[in-house]
Amino acid sequence: MTLEGNFYESGNSYRRLAILNLDGIFFDLLVDDESIQSGVLSNLSFSDRIANIPRKIIFIDGSVFETQDNNKVDKIAFNSDKKNSFSMRLQIIESKWKWVLTSILFLALLGYLIIRVVLPWAGKELALIVPNKVNETISSGGLRLLDQEWFKPSELSDDKKNKISDSFSELVNTLPKSEFEYKLYFRKMGQANAFALPAGQIILTDELVRVAENPEQIRAIILHEIGHVHHRHSMQQIIRSSLISVAISMLTSDLSTLEDLVVVLPVFVLKSGFSQGDEIQADEYMFRHMFKLQMDPIHFVNILKIMTQNNLNIDDNILKYFSSHPSTKDRVKEAIRKSDKFLSES
Ligand SMILES: [Zn+2]
């Protein structure tokens, strides 16, 4: 398509006769048979049609081609507009997708960092400054819920319970003074197990007491559980889960999530969600005190084995003490190593 008209250089009113050649994609502007502007059609802009006023086609550098041929300009402008809007839409979609993908990646990375780095760190720091009153409130509420949902009253004889309680008090008295008040509870639940609540309540199941071969094995388990309390492992986990709940309830403005926090403890206690690091730390606490009390760490190995065996036969959905405790084999190995050391030193 060819248009005839006048050409004005940018900022100059000097008029020259010119011919604008267009082929649908490119344009070529000729003045005195010499090409002085060429390029892609989409770089041109067109003035609006107002009656028969000459139309202006404006080049990127601001120079102008003016023509009376309004009909042709309309056609060109229409085609150019279509192409422009299509490529613009493509561009918008493309940039939006890039944005969406970048956001998803960013959120995934942020989520990973929060869960793997920020929450464990915050859990540790906050667990250290949680006032004991909070520990106690959460623990007593948690024990109440555990009693309602999972535990049954102990069926051990008073004589048995008294003996273990005496041994427990004796054991606790040998420990360094602590801000926690350790208390022993007996409950029945259908499997050999032991739990610790953040304020220092240690719960032994009837089944654990029954399978233990001697008081040392029970004391080893108690020391391990006290290790969890001492290092505030449950509180750390509760804070981590709570922070996630708080974050979710803030994001979804659903405050009812906050009310579920009390439920976190019992579920956590039963699912025994300690990390391998927490277990090793609790074991170390136990070994340290076993050495002080002249107790052979082999007792821990033996009770671990009995409990694992005992709980393997239980077809129960509640997670088992040791299948959920990571890497029992490694812990047994370490306990045997500690026992060898104990025997060689004594
Ligand atoms: Zn443990």
pLDDT at 258 over 80: no
Domains of the chain in start order, with CATH, are 2-76 (2.30.29), 131-345 (no CATH)
Residues whose CB falls within 8 Å of the CB of residue 93, separated by 6 or more in sequence, listed in order: none
Are 123 and 117 in contact by the 8 Å Cβ rule? The answer is: no
pLDDT recorded at residue 118: 81
pLDDT at 69 over 70: yes
Distance CA 230, CA 197 (A): 11
pLDDT recorded at residue 70: 84
Say how many Å lie between the CA of residue 284 and the centre of ligand 1.
11
Say how many Å lie between the CA of residue 40 and the centre of ligand 1.
73
Residues whose CB falls within 8 Å of the CB of residue 41, separated by 6 or more in sequence, listed in order: 22, 24, 25, 26, 27, 76, 79, 80, 83
Q: Between these two residues, 317 and 254, which has the higher pLDDT value?
A: 254
pLDDT recorded at residue 264: 63
Q: Which helix (H) or strand (E) holds 334?
A: helix 328-345
Say how many Å lie between the CA of residue 326 and the centre of ligand 1.
9
pLDDT at 317 over 50: no
Say how many Å lie between the CA of residue 12 and the centre of ligand 1.
87
pTM over 0.85: no
Where does the pLDDT of residue 113 fall: very low under 50, low under 70, confident under 90, or very high at 90 and above? confident
**Range scoring the smallest mean pLDDT among 116-125, 166-175, 187-196:** 116-125
Say how many Å lie between the CA of residue 309 and the centre of ligand 1.
17
Where does the pLDDT of residue 85 fall: very low under 50, low under 70, confident under 90, or very high at 90 and above? low
User: Within 10 A of 36 (CB to CB), how many other CB atoms are there?
Assistant: 15
Distance CA 167, CA 173 (A): 10
How confident is the prediction for the chain on average, in pLDDT?
83
Distance CA 309, CA 317 (A): 16
Say how many Å lie between the CA of residue 281 and the centre of ligand 1.
9
pLDDT recorded at residue 329: 79
User: Within 10 A of 276 (CB to CB), how many other CB atoms are there?
Assistant: 12
Say how many Å lie between the CA of residue 201 and the centre of ligand 1.
14
Say how many Å lie between the CA of residue 277 and the centre of ligand 1.
10
Say how many Å lie between the CA of residue 276 and the centre of ligand 1.
9
pLDDT recorded at residue 243: 75
Angle, in degrees to the nearest 10, between helices 261-271 and 132-149: 70
Say how many Å lie between the CA of residue 143 and the centre of ligand 1.
18
pLDDT at 321 over 50: no
